[in-house]
């Protein structure tokens, strides 16, 4: 009877592992903060791997005015960013923007599900080369750290 219970538990564990992919997902999180021309920018990138294949990329850029000249011209700064980045909620690609005029912060978040996004939309964000790429967790981590990011 004990062997039957143990066998049942092992079988449940194996089914959980096979059906949900337990242990096959890995997330690389990298961040970098820079300050230039009166603006502090914090960039974060989360790259999700499933079975050593990139499945999702989420990038966030938080810009904050740290100089009075930028604060006085905040609406001009916002108009430049609004013109460069259009909010999107296409299949597999979501870009959102948030302008907080009270504390002079502007956040852009791009969330890309590579399994559902089409290549044409990915090309708009210069991400089409990721699909089918041989990049690994370690190679992307190395590239990010070479670009000044701190990864974990």
- 48 has which bridge partners? 27, 56
HSE value, Cβ hemisphere, 13 Å, CA-based, for 58: 9
Its pTM stands at 0.79
What pLDDT, on a 0 to 100 scale, did the predictor assign at position 22?
53
What are the chain's domains?
A: 25-151 (3.30.1830)
Beta-carbon contacts of residue 105 (< 8 Å; ≥ 6 apart): 62, 63, 64, 65, 98, 99
Residues of the chain under the 70 pLDDT cut:
1-23
What pLDDT, on a 0 to 100 scale, did the predictor assign at position 133?
81
- 47 has which bridge partners? 28, 57
pLDDT (tens digit per residue) in 67-95: 999 999 999 999 999 999 889 898 899 99
Judge whether 50 and 21 are in contact, CB under 8 Å: yes
């Amino acid at each position: 009877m004990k062997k039957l219970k143990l066998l049942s538990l092992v079988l449940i564990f194996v089914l959980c592992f096979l059906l949900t992919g337990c242990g096959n997902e890995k997330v690389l999180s990298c961040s970098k903060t820079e300050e230039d021309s009166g603006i502090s920018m914090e960039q974060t990138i989360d790259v999700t791997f499933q079975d050593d294949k990139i499945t999702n990329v989420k990038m966030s850029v938080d810009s904050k005015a740290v100089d009075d000249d930028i604060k006085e011209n905040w609406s001009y700064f916002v108009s430049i960013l609004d013109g460069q980045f259009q909010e999107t909620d296409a299949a597999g690609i979501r870009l959102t923007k948030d302008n907080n005029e009270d504390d002079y912060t502007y956040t852009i978040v791009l969330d890309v599900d590579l399994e559902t996004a089409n290549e044409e939309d990915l090309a708009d964000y210069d991400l089409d080369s990721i699909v089918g790429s041989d990049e690994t967790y370690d190679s992307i981590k190395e590239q990010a750290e070479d670009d000044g990011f701190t990864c974990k």
